[in-house]
Structures are given as structure tokens and as C-alpha cells.
Amino acid sequence: MPAMLREPFIYIMSSSGKRLRPLLTLLACEAVGGKAEDALHAGTAIEILHNFTLVHDDIMDKSPIRRGNPTVHIKWDEPTAILAGDVMMGYAYRTLSMNTPAALLPAALREFNRGFIEVCEGQALDLEYRYRNDINTGDYLRMIGMKTACLLEIAVSTGAILGTADGQALTSLTTFAHALGTAFQLQDDLLDVTATEEELGKSIGQDIVEGKKTYMIIRCYELTRSLHATDPKRMLIDRFYAQHGLPALDIPDVVAMMNELGVTKETEGLITENFSTARSALRVLPQSDARTLLDAVITLLDKRKR
């Protein structure tokens, strides 16, 4: 592989990510009676897929920092980042096929393809929503179901397929993963305005500056429709929508508005609700060390700061 592809590939895969998706793949396989090693290559493939999406998302979002380090398109350039992302997908498919039994490979590939397509569709919606003013919180939750939760679903469903799960176990795991992914993304939205820069590994309030219509921003918009047009909170959120984002100096005012309208607390409650749904879904599975560890993942994510 040419150095211009190999070096950014290694760079992004060596960064300090949580490796959540491959962990879920291995645990899901074990939770339905399989062996973790049978899902190792599938978990690796899903992690490569996830990092591919980050490389391309950072280009589209013009993000300078990822996990506390310069993004690939900043450290190199955009053409290199695009090509590196493309070759990552090739390696993801190759890795998935390396150790998957022939009888199970078609089902595993169907899930992998579904994840690949849905995450791209979710990113497209995310970009589209930035220039639409008619998005509601339901639209947003459906979008993050595709962009974020879907990859967690694919992680557990692929692991479950390799562990030869029955239909009930597969449904339980995908319900768990969807709720976990929803909570995870809402938590990201919340941390963007409540964490410190040191905790988050990037600039605080970046979603506000980039004009991202997160759950919290959309909810502020919904709640301010009943206020007078000259109310400072309504004027602030209207300016966000009109300008597709706000300068960094407005971040404290946006955060204050979220607190005053109760949106911060509401988001915290929705995160807790989704973590609870994820925990309940696991109870369908037989008791095992893997199920206990899946439950522990919920607890760990519930306490995260980045």
C-alpha cells in the first residue's frame, strides 16, 4: 500500500477511540452461546467501517480535531483523507470475509451492507437538516438511529449471527443496541455543551459553531415558538437558524438558554430512558458473563465525559 494511504490508515486506527463496536460484536457473539474469537474479524471490520465514517464526516464538517489530535484531512489534505477512507472500506470487507464461515457470510454481509448504507444515509440527512428549518425532534431521533445507532446494531447483530443466535436473542440485542446508540448520540450532544475541552478532546460548543441541529437545538427552537418575536431566547435561536450556526462568543448564551428552557434536563432524562431500555432488552438473554459485561457497557457509557 502506498505511504499516502498506509500512514493515515494507521494514524486513524491507532487513535484513542473507545473500540465500543468491536467489543459489542464479541460480547454479542458470546451472549448467544458463541465464542468471541469467532467474531474477532467481524468486530475489526466494523471498527474499520466506523473509522471510515469519521474520516469522511470530519471532511464534511470541516472538523480540525478528532480524539484530541488533528483530523486526517488537516494532518494531510482532503484528497488523501478521501482516498484513505475509501481504502479502509476495502479492507473492512476483506477483513469481514477472512474468518467468517461460508454458511454465515451472506447474512453477515447483509448486515454489514445495511450498516454501511444506513450510516451514509444518516450522514446525508444530518447535512440536509442543517439547511432546513422544519426539522422536529422526531426527525432528529430517526436520523441518529441511522447515523449512530445503526452501527451499534450492526455490531451486535453480526456478532449474534456468528454465534448462531435465534430470532428472539437477535431482536433483544438489536433493541439494546438501538437504545444504546440513541443514548450515546444524545450524550454527545449534551457533552458538547456541558463537558470541558480537556474532557471532550475538542473545542466545546463545536456543534453550535458548525450549525448542527442537535436534539437540544431543535428542542430550543420548538419551545421558543410560543415566545414573543423580541424575546432574547427566541431571537438567539432564530439567529442560529438564519445563519446556520453562531460564532463561538455566543456559545455561553446558547448554553444558558438550554438551561433556562429545561432542555438540558430533558435531554438528560431522555438519555437515562434510553439506557434503561437498553438494560431491559438484555434481560431476555440467558444469564452469562457476556450479558453482565454488556450491562456494564451501559453503566460505563452512562458515566462517560467524552
Block mean pLDDT (10 aa), the chain, length 306? 88 86 97 95 95 92 84 92 94 91 94 94 90 94 95 97 94 97 95 78 82 95 96 97 95 97 97 97 96 96 80
101 DSSP assignment: -
- Residues 244-263: pLDDT tens digits? 999 999 999 999 999 999 99
| Predicted pLDDT of residue 24 | 97
Measured in degrees and rounded to the nearest 5, phi and psi for residue 66 equal -140, 125
pLDDT of 67: 80
> For residue 18, what pLDDT is reported?
80
What is 193-242 written as a DSSP string?
A: HHS-HHHHTS-TTHHHHHT---HHHHHHHHHHTTS-TT-HHHHHHHHHHH
In the prediction, which pLDDT does 202 show?
64
CB atoms within 10 A of CB 218: 21
Helix (H) or strand (E) holding 70: strand 69-70
Please give the pLDDT value at position 44: 96
What does the alpha-carbon distance between residue 169 and residue 171 come to, in Å, rounded to a whole number?
5
Domains annotated on the chain, with CATH: 3-302 (1.10.600.10)
**CB within 8 A of 35, min separation 6: which ones?**
29, 163
Other CB atoms closer than 10 Å to residue 62's CB: what's the count? 11
pLDDT at 198: 66
Q: Are 24 and 39 in contact (CB under 8 A)?
A: no
pLDDT of amino acid 63:
84
Nearest to 275 by CA among 180, 188, 181, 185: 180
Using CB atoms within 10 A of its CB, is residue 286 exposed (0-12), middle (13-18) or buried (19+)? exposed
| Count of CA atoms in the C-beta half-sphere (13 A) of 210 | 21
Task: Say what the pLDDT of residue 15 is.
Answer: 83
Enter the pTM of the model. Answer: 0.90
